[in-house]
Each structure stands twice: as C-alpha cells, then as structure tokens.
Amino acid sequence: MGQGAASRPGRRSSRHSSSTARLLAEQGHSVRVVTRSGRDPEPGIEHLAFDATDRERLTAAARGAAAIHHCAAPPYHRWVRDWPPLVASACAAAEATGAVLVMLGNLYGYGPVDGPMTEGLPLAATGPKGRVRAAAWERALTLHEQGRIRVVEVRASDFFGPGVTDGGHLAGRVVPALLRGRPVSTLGDPDAPHSWTYLPDVAAAMAEVAGEERAWGRPWHVPTQRPHSVREMADLLAAGAGTGPAVVRRIPRAAFGLAGLFSPLMRELREIRYQFDRPFVVDSSAYEAAFAVRATGVDEQVKATLDWWRAHPTTTR
C-alpha cells in the first residue's frame, strides 16, 4: 500500500513530513513528499518540487496513494492567508483520488479552556490563528460527512524531538539556550503544567490512523506524556546535557509587549500566550484506548533529542 506525504517549505512542515515519510518508508510504503524546494531522493521516498496549493499537480502526485498526509505549515505570520488554499488543495486531491486525508492539527482551535483538553471540546477559539485552524478541520469534516472524502485529524501539542529546531517553545528556545549554557527565557509561568508532544509519536500516530477506518471522520490527540512545566523540562534536559542546573526566567509582560514592536514573531505569539500563562494539558486517553501507538517515555525523548543536537553542533550557534 502506497502512502503520500504532502508538505510545503518551512522547517516546521519539513520536520513533520520528513519524520512521517521516513517512518512510512521504513514500514514498506512508497512515499512521495511535496515541497516547493524538493530534495534528493531517499530510500523509498520520492521528493517533488512544487507548491502544494496547486491542486491539479497535487492530485496528479497523489494518484494511486492510499493516503495523503497533510503536514504543511505556512510561516506563522501567514497562517490566515495561506491555510485556506492549502486545505482546499488537499481536500480536492483527496476527493479526486479517493486517498484518505490525514491532517496534522494542533490545539489552537480550542482556545483557552479550564482543565485538560479532549477531542470533544468545541472549537471555540476567537483569535485568527485558532479560528483558521478550526476552519480547516471543519471544512474537511463537512466534506467527509457529505461522503466526498475520507478524513482524520491528529492533533499535537507543542512538539520537540530529534531534528526539531524551531517547532515550538521547547524546541526553539529552551534546548538551544541550555546547550549554550545560557538561562532559559519563557513566555509565561515557568511552573505551569504543559503538554509536550514528541515528534516521532506524531509520525507514528499519523501512520497508524491512515490505515484504521474506525479512526476516520473525527480528530484524535497524539499520545502525549503527562504534562511537565518549562522548568521541569529544562531541568531534565540540562541534567541530560550535563550543563548544570537550568536557570529559567520569565519574560516580563511589558518586555514581551515591547518585543512585539520589533519582532513579527513576538507579535504573533500574543494570541497564544495563554498557553504558557496557565495549565495547557492535552488528554490523549481516547487515542490510547483505541489504537496501538503510545507516547515515548520522557527519558527516551530527552536522550534522543540531546543526541541529535550533539550530532549537529552548529545548530546551536
């Protein structure tokens, strides 16, 4: 059975698609990965270079595939503009080819909630990035309910792991700072419980639900370990790296606002600051009750992540 992984430029999308594509290839599938820039062939993986919003080319690339894995992630500041055409293209390709559409989602669509997040919560986000992610799933689900496509979405919290250098707060800020022996600056309360999803677990979940008909037509949370605060994760990573006790500092709200005057990324982060100011906990028990994939142990996550960074020392510069 062949499966396809659709993507677009940007490290977030390339890390997701690369991890998923390599796992699928290891499982014996033939894989095509779509990015604007392309890449040299890998065993079992063909890389194609074009814009995934081109629905005719995406449909042609997906012919014969059992599944389309939608791992695309536009640059953060272009989500509102770029997500709708990406999702429209993926849905069109799924409808034309009959391939199952496996969408990689996140937790933004729920907005601020009290208590652990489950898949049954309403997509009640009011900010533009949360709404655009919610609308992407709602569009695909409507087509599924109309019998036009088959779709499933796997939702992950902030992710990290081998090869992830800018996929979220932990990967983009905490790990590099610790490896340079510097203090860690955090966006919100460093002691608030927070769920972190391990990238290989994301790939494993995407591969699993593609072949499980009973998974289709609803979202699932990627198996994720119990929440750890930024301070707890920094301590675990620092201990594993042997860099001494982690020093974790909270970015003052005033400084955060000032940084937004000069940094487009910091301006964009205002919408989701609540995720770090309060507990941000994902409940993945529904997935774990239905399917085989389980969250990798935290010690293994930390070791594998640090091993990758040690093998790529220039990444921390």
| Domain boundaries defined on the chain | 4-158+197-221, 159-195+226-281+295-316
**pLDDT in the model for residue 313:** 74
167-220 pLDDT tens trace: 666 777 788 888 888 898 888 899 999 999 999 999 999 999 999 999 999 999
15-68 pLDDT tens trace: 667 899 999 999 999 999 999 888 888 899 999 999 999 999 999 999 999 999
| Mean pLDDT (the chain, rounded) | 89
pTM above 0.85, yes or no: yes
**pLDDT in the model for residue 261:** 57
Fold of 4-158+197-221: Rossmann fold (3.40.50)
| 222 against 245, higher pLDDT | 222
Q: What is 159-195+226-281+295-316's CATH superfamily?
A: UDP-galactose 4-epimerase, domain 1 (3.90.25.10)
The secondary structure of the chain, three-state, reads CCCEEECCCCHHHHHHHHHHHHHHHHCCCCEEEEECCCCCCECCEEEEECCCCCHHHHHHHHCCCCEEEECCCCCHHHHHHHHHHHHHHHHHHHHHHCCEEEEEECCHHHCCCCCCECCCCCCCCCCHHHHHHHHHHHHHHHHHHCCCCCEEEEECCEEECCCCCCCCHHHHHHHHHHHCCCCEEECCCCCCCECEEEHHHHHHHHHHHHCCHHHCCCEEECCCCCCCCHHHHHHHHHHHHCCCCCCEEECCHHHHHHHCCCCHHHHHHHHHCHHHHCCECECCHHHHHHCCCCCCCHHHHHHHHHHHHHHCHHHHC
Poorest-confidence range of 78-92, 223-237, 261-275, 292-306?
A: 261-275
